[in-house]
Structure 1
Amino acid sequence: MNTIAPIVPSPDLIDFLQDELAVSPAAIQLGMRQARNSQTLLPMALWQYGLVTMGELNQILDWLEQRPVPSYMA
């Protein structure tokens, strides 16, 4: 059976979600569980389950776009 290891969101992303968008820790935990189950990224899972709005999803994606690419992905 082929399984893909879940992508663990960075602490910076978690901080952004909580500090800038006021996403609760419980919503983040639910989003992480759903992201793992559906093999998608946390921001998409949060949006798909109504935990962030489309506008907030765009803010998250804009924030991620501004982040430097981790060295292991370059």
Structure 2
Amino acid sequence: MMITTDSKDIELLNFLYNELELSEKDMALALKHREFDNGPLPMLLWQYGLVNLEQLEQILDWLYNEI
């Protein structure tokens, strides 16, 4: 199964890796689940326990500022 990402996803993944220090393995897991759940990546990260509420807030703030 191929996991596709667009340029906004790549920017978000860079933020997650560099700022929140999520592992590549955790991000790959969330992207894999997105193929099936079709949910927003930040919510999937939280749903699967890969980020806590504080980190989720940081992600949402980052996304808001990117608009």
Question: In the alignment, residue 27 of structure 1 is paired with which amino acid?
Answer: D
> Superposition RMSD on alpha carbons, in Å?
1.7
Cα distance in structure 1, aligned partners of 2:41 and 2:61: 14
Change (3 A) 1:10 1:34: same
Q: Could you tell me whether the CA contact under 8 Å between 1:7 and 1:41 is conserved in 2?
A: no
Cα distance in structure 2, aligned partners of 1:42 and 1:54: 14
TM-score between the two structures when normalised by the length of structure 2: 0.84
Structure having the larger proportion of residues in helix: 2
Instruction: Structure 2: state its 5+ residue gaps.
Output: none
Aligned-residue sequence identity (percent) comes to: 38
Specify the SS of the correspondent of 1:12: helix
Specify the SS of the correspondent of 1:59: helix
Specify the SS of the correspondent of 1:21: coil
Q: Could you tell me whether the CA contact under 8 Å between 1:43 and 1:57 is conserved in 2?
A: yes
* Moved segments of 4+, more than 4 Å: none
Question: In the alignment, residue 38 of structure 2 is paired with which amino acid?
Answer: Q
Question: In the alignment, residue 50 of structure 2 is paired with which amino acid?
Answer: L
The structural deviation recorded for 1:35 is: 1.6
TM-score between the two structures when normalised by the length of structure 1: 0.77
Instruction: Structure 1: state its 5+ residue gaps.
Output: 1-5, 69-74
Question: In the alignment, residue 48 of structure 2 is paired with which amino acid?
Answer: Y
Aligned to 2:19: 20
The structural deviation recorded for 1:7 is: 7.6
